[in-house]
Chain A
Amino acid sequence: MGLEIDNVAHSFGDRLALDEVSFDVAPGVITGLLGPNGAGKTTLMRIMLGVLSADRGEVRYHGSRVGERDRRTWGYMPQERGLYPGMPAGGQVAHFGRLHGLSRRDATSRAHDLLAELGLEDRWNDRTDKLSGGMQQRLQLATSLVHDPTVIVLDEPFAGLDPVAVESLSETLRLRARAGRTVLFSSHQLDLVQDLCEDIAMVDRGRTVLLGNVATLRASSGRRQLRVHVKAPNRDWLLAYPDITVASDQADDLRLTLPPGIDPLEVLDAARAAGRVVDFGLDLPTLSQLFLRAADRTLDPAGMR
């Protein structure tokens, strides 16, 4: 049993930020809290960490309401980074370790280990404001992981990271999850984190719209897509399949959404009969496509109808 978010509601004045959100976060898997900007992700995380209090509902850990004592063993990285600009990098990490209850010696040795893991070992004595933006991001991560938290909550940890940094942060989180920690992070870049999340909770306008295991959700959506690049003069060969909808149609990339009854290979054969097939593939829907359908949004930046 891990972390349970149970009917949590919060409003800022008249504006309802969270409307009875419920989901569980299991230990040992990486869970993504996904949704567009303004969906209520940050508010929910602040409530989990006790920075804000919920109007209704509660957050439970191991079956009982989360208190200050629990939270001291948690790690939190807020969306807006906060570090003491004038402190040396190592001292900063050790300070947060001690705030979380570590002794001075433990905090220092863990800080050393963590900076080494994150590639900052030679920056121990450098002032924080002398580090590059990317290093400060990693230092911020170090301050939230120094006490080896049982629950790790990260608000938009991937925002603004380059692909190398995304991969290295993903690896850091995978390591923690494999060690049995509860890992929850939020993101509005759904497709960027598609491969990292094992479980997801999708929120939109303060409500949960989709919950569950990513692989299962994608496979069971019944919305496989056939991607085919065919050198044909027109799309007339598609007329034989009235049930197929065109998800996107660009010169070299035609995406077809196949209803459950249709065999993709049969459609591919039809395409080959019409012209030379340069490239093809069978794709499961992306997380953003799942989101758009679940949230019942019509506006579609990813090319859905």
Chain B
Amino acid sequence: MRAWWRGTSLVAERGLVENLKSRSFKVLTGLLLLLSIAAVTIPQILSAGGTRYTIATTGKAPGALVSALDAAGRSADFSVKYISRADANAVRLAVHDGDATAGLAGGTLFTSATSAGTFPVVVAQTVVGLETTRRLSEAGLSPQQVAALQSIRPPRQVVVGRVDNEGRAGAGFAVGIVLYLAITFAGTAIATTVATEKSTRISEVLLAVLRPSQVLVGTVIAVGTVTLLQLLVLATPLAVAVQLTDKIGLPTVAAGDLGLAVAWFVLGFALYAFLFAATAALVDKITEVNSAILPVTIILVVGYLLAITVVAADPNGGWSIAASMFPLTAPLAMPIRWASGEVPIYQLVLAMALTAASAVLLVWVASSVYRRALLITGRRVKLREMIGSHARS
């Protein structure tokens, strides 16, 4: 075992160094970093100073309306600009031409068909509030009594749905997205590495010293580490932004759910990594890699779509249960199903065990394919040739 690990770690070390030095890694990682920084900062810049609304009124806006709207703007992070027009028609025109977000003329509130947002509602509520206060005061209520009436709040809303716990649901969807991204990045890299070793015949030199499982596991570790680095690069600007500002709200996730998410990520990554490796060992020329790994990519995409549509919509339907147990879709489907809070623990354990067992089985299959495919060159190896006879893996 120690000798096995020594050889494996040497393969991994070499792969890691070569990957980190490669131009494509530097370019891709730089691009990811830029994208990530852009994704975090651009919305911040755009929303800096809050949203700005414009309201048009006939004549100068009443002081009570201005102070009430400004107060609402301070608490909801928007600012209001006031413009005055001669008559109701001019106010209507201002809204129509886009000079104002909303227009108030007598008893009419003009709103734009397109970009009004919630501002007209705020204006309407403010107008109603002001008028109510005025009438209540006229009816002889003291300012304290008016204030007491205004402090009445609607009942607190609680959404009752499938999601038991927002943090857990977030973690579930995050595993799906991150796993999908990671496998898409890494799958091609793993397949290319394996196919390069095969087509340049390095595999024969390697197999004289190493077992195929050492070569494959080492390669997967190397590419996996690189992918993890890229994910960290992708996540760093977000993490920095969360630390520096309080504008990005992330749901808090329980440590247990986070651990489960990581476990699913590792399992899913290993499973697909070895699937890509085994597939790549079948090709003869490096140019055939993309067509060879297409079926695996399709399985991944279908699994992901299944997870975010069928499983998310009906976590306990027959299809959802099947998808969350089947090893190739379990890492994508089970975390989302788990968020419903209605998954029996035995199903979770069984799904994990099945996925882990499949990953180990795939190491063995991939090793056997790698060794046997080595001896067949000049054409694509058919899967049929790989099954049936024996080989040391």
User: How many residues belonging to B are interface residues under a CB distance threshold of 8 Å?
Assistant: 26
Check B74 for interface membership: any CB of A closer than 8 A: no
Contacts of A72 in B (CB 8 A): 209
Q: Which has the most chain B C-beta neighbours within 10 Å: A46, A78, A99?
A: A99
Q: Are A99 and B374 in contact (CB under 8 A)?
A: no
Fill in one digit per residue for A85-116: 1 if any B CB lies within 8 Å of its CB, else 0: 11100000001101110000000000000000
Q: Are A51 and B10 in contact (CB under 8 A)?
A: no
Question: How many angstroms from the CA of A259 to the CA of B207 in the assembled complex?
Answer: 50
Q: Are B208 and A82 in contact (CB under 8 A)?
A: no
Given contacts A95-B14, A99-B7, contact A86 B205 (CB under 8 A): no
Check A143 for interface membership: any CB of B closer than 8 A: yes
Instruction: Looking at the assembled complex, report how far the CB atom of A11 sits from the nearest CB atom of chain B, in whole angstroms.
Output: 11
Contacts of A76 in B (CB 8 A): 205, 208
Given contacts A87-B18, A95-B14, A98-B10, contact A51 B200 (CB under 8 A): no
Q: Which has the most chain A C-beta neighbours within 10 Å: B202, B205, B211, B371?
A: B205
Q: Are B10 and A143 in contact (CB under 8 A)?
A: no
Question: How many angstroms from the CA of A99 to the CA of B207 in the assembled complex?
Answer: 11
Check B391 for interface membership: any CB of A closer than 8 A: yes
Check A74 for interface membership: any CB of B closer than 8 A: yes
Contacts of A98 in B (CB 8 A): 10
Question: How many angstroms from the CA of A86 to the CA of B209 in the assembled complex?
Answer: 21
Fill in one digit per residue for B205-226: 1 if any A CB lies within 8 Å of its CB, else 0: 1111111000000000000000
User: How many residues belonging to A are interface residues under a CB distance threshold of 8 Å?
Assistant: 28
Q: Are B18 and A84 in contact (CB under 8 A)?
A: yes
Fill in one digit per residue for A214-246: 1 if any B CB lies within 8 Å of its CB, else 0: 000000000000000000000000000000000
Question: How many angstroms from the CA of A114 to the CA of B120 in the assembled complex?
Answer: 82
Question: How many angstroms from the CA of A83 to the CA of B205 in the assembled complex?
Answer: 9
Q: Are A86 and B7 in contact (CB under 8 A)?
A: no
Question: How many angstroms from the CA of A271 to the CA of B391 in the assembled complex?
Answer: 64
Instruction: Select A99's contact among B196, B209, B391, beta carbons within 8 Å.
Output: B209
Instruction: Select B208's contact among A51, A80, A83, beta carbons within 8 Å.
Output: A51
Q: Are B7 and A51 in contact (CB under 8 A)?
A: no
Q: Which has the most chain A C-beta neighbours within 10 Å: B3, B11, B208, B391?
A: B208
Instruction: Select B209's contact among A53, A82, A83, A100, beta carbons within 8 Å.
Output: A100
Check A50 for interface membership: any CB of B closer than 8 A: yes
Question: How many angstroms from the CA of A200 to the CA of B211 in the assembled complex?
Answer: 31
Q: Are A86 and B208 in contact (CB under 8 A)?
A: no
Question: How many angstroms from the CA of A50 to the CA of B22 in the assembled complex?
Answer: 33
Contacts of B7 in A (CB 8 A): 99
Q: Are B200 and A83 in contact (CB under 8 A)?
A: yes
Question: How many angstroms from the CA of A39 to the CA of B114 in the assembled complex?
Answer: 82
Q: Are A81 and B18 in contact (CB under 8 A)?
A: no
Interface residues of B in 349-382 (CB under 8 A from A): 371, 374-375
Check B247 for interface membership: any CB of A closer than 8 A: no
Q: Are A95 and B209 in contact (CB under 8 A)?
A: no
Instruction: Looking at the assembled complex, report how far the CB atom of A89 sits from the nearest CB atom of chain B, in whole angstroms.
Output: 14
Question: How many angstroms from the CA of A221 to the CA of B286 in the assembled complex?
Answer: 51
What 8 pairs between A and B have smallest CB-CB spacing? A82-B202, A82-B201, A80-B201, A49-B208, A76-B208, A78-B204, A82-B205, A51-B207
- Other A-B contacts than A49-B208, A76-B208, A82-B203, 4 sampled, CB-CB below 8 A, are A51-B371, A84-B14, A86-B18, A87-B14
